[in-house]
Each structure stands twice: as C-alpha cells, then as structure tokens.
Amino acid sequence: MTTDTIKQAAPPSSLRLVLTLAIAGLISGIAIIGIYESTLPTITANKARELREAVFKVLPGVSQMQALVYRDGELITVEKPDKDEPVIYGGYDEAYEFVGYAMPAAGPGFQDTIAILYGYKPGEKQVVGMEVLESRETPGLGDKIYKDAVWVGGFSALSVEPEIVAVKKGTKSKPNEIDAITGATISSKAVVRIINEAHTAWSDKLPPPDAEPPFQEIEPASTEAGQ
C-alpha cells in the first residue's frame, strides 16, 4: 500500500530536495544578514544611550563618562573593552573633575539574575545611587527593588564601611544600614549582597582617592553615545 502511493507520487530526486533546502537556506541567510546589518546601528545607539542615562542617574552631577578597565595593576581608559572584561565607568562633571564610579554588578535574585548599576564615591566611601538594569523579580513584590522610590532613594548616601546591611523597615540607625522592603526581603537583600560583593571585588583595584584616571576625550565612543 505504502509502496504504491510512493510510486504514484513519483518522488523527486534527492538532488532536487537538497537544492530546494539549500536555496531556501541561502535566501533566509541573506535576509537575516540584511536585517541584522540594518538594525545594528540603532540597537548599539539605544544600548549606549541607556547606559549613559543609567550612569548619569546613579551619579548625580555627572555630565561626562568613560569606560575604565583594570589591566596590569591599574585602572585605565580604553576605547573598546575586550569581551567579558569587567568594565566600570568613571563619571566626571562639566569641568572634567572626577565625581565617582558607576559600577555594574550582577548576582542571583529571587527569580533570576539581577543586574544593577550603582554609583560609588571613593572619597566618601559611599554609594550614591542605584539603578536596576535587569531583573525578573515577582511583579508587585520583588519588583519594588526598582519601583519603590523610598528604597531606591535609600541608596543616595549609603556607607559601604564595613558593609551594607539590610535591616527591617524602620530600624535603620547607622549610615551603612538600609531599610529592606516589606514583602521583598529576599530581593532587597540580594541587591545589597550584589553591591557588597562587587565592592569587595573592586576595592583593591580602585586607585586611592584623588589619583583617579583623568578624563580622556575618546571621539568614537562619545559621538556614538551622543546620538
């Protein structure tokens, strides 16, 4: 029965099958390359703008920024950081005076990785701002780590010495304590832990206060980000 139907349908040659798929794949590949190339500039510009806005948000008073990496024992300015190389951002005011660092950090939250950016002033040893870049915390509970204005505002002058501690709401008494969010204890403690871990990892690598790398005008990065 089955052999009969196959005979009746006169199967096309294998070559034709292979050719059909090859042509379909070729056209598909060209279309994908086309759309990738044509959307890439917009996507890169969007990402650069987002990053810029986030850096300016966590470091009040900053109007210039540059990417910094740690190589051979010192913090240097780079035009294009290597892939997977940890990068922090130096923030500078209008007179190109150093203001503080914007440090990206990530770690496990309640649901998935939480990625944040926090502003750090080494002179005062203080966190001066925090912005959640990526999170999948529970809507209505864990998402308060970026929706709750009181919690986010708590990071505007938070001492990192000896380390940040999340305490029960209303019991904040020391400069290194922050009120955890009621109903989102795990998420708020996760944010605090991420900052503490990033601070420990970077504290040895940052130069002493007043020896921060000066602002260097790098044309390509600034024009791209300015779009």
Partner 1 sequence: MKKNESYEEFIKGVWRDNPVFAQVLGMCPMLAVTNSAINAVAMGMATLFVLVGSSFLVSSFRNWIPKQVRISCFIIIIATFVTIADYTLLALVPKVHKELGAFIPLIVANCLILGRQEAFASRYPTRLAVMDAIGMATGFLVALLSLGIVREILGDGALFGVKLFSENFEPWVIMILPPGGFLTLGVILLFFNWFKFKKDEFLEDVAEAERSGS
| Interface ranges with partner 1 (CB under 8 A) | 9, 11-12, 16-17, 20-21, 24-25, 27-28, 31-32, 35-36, 39, 42-43, 46-47, 50, 134, 138-141
Compare residues 12 and 226 and give the one whose CB is closer to partner 1: 12
Nearer to partner 1 by Cβ, of 30 and 201: the residue is 30
Least distance to partner 1 from the beta carbon of 192, Å?
A: 23
DSSP-based three-state secondary structure for 132: strand
Structure tokens at 215: 């602002």
| Radius of gyration for the alpha carbons in the chain, expressed in angstroms and rounded | 25
Three-state secondary structure readout of 139-154 = CCCCCHHHHCHHHHHH
CB-wise, 27 or 201, nearer to partner 1?
Answer: 27
d(CA 131, CA 119) in angstroms, rounded, equals 9
Q: Rounded to the nearest whole angstrom, what is the least distance from the CB of residue 36 to partner 1 in the complex? A: 6
CB of 129 to partner 1, least distance (A): 21
Residue 82 vs 134, nearer CB to partner 1: 134
DSSP assignments along 49-75, one per residue: HHHHHHHHHHSTT--EEEEEEEETTEE
Q: Residue 22 belongs to what H/E stretch?
A: helix 14-58
What count of Cα atoms within 13 Å lies in the side-chain half-sphere of residue 163? 15
C-beta of 31 vs 76, nearer to partner 1? 31
Minimum CB–partner distance for residue 27 and partner 1 (Å): 8
Which C-beta is closer to partner 1: that of 137 or that of 212?
137
Give the orientation angle of helix 14-58 with respect to helix 219-226, to 10 degrees.
90
Q: Taking the complex as a whole, how short is the minimal distance between the CB of residue 90 and partner 1, in angstroms?
A: 25
Q: CA-to-CA distance for 117 and 152, rounded, in angstroms?
A: 12
For the bound state, the minimum distance from the C-beta of residue 137 to partner 1, rounded and expressed in Å, comes to 12
Listed residue (61, 72, 69) closest to 119, CA to CA: 61
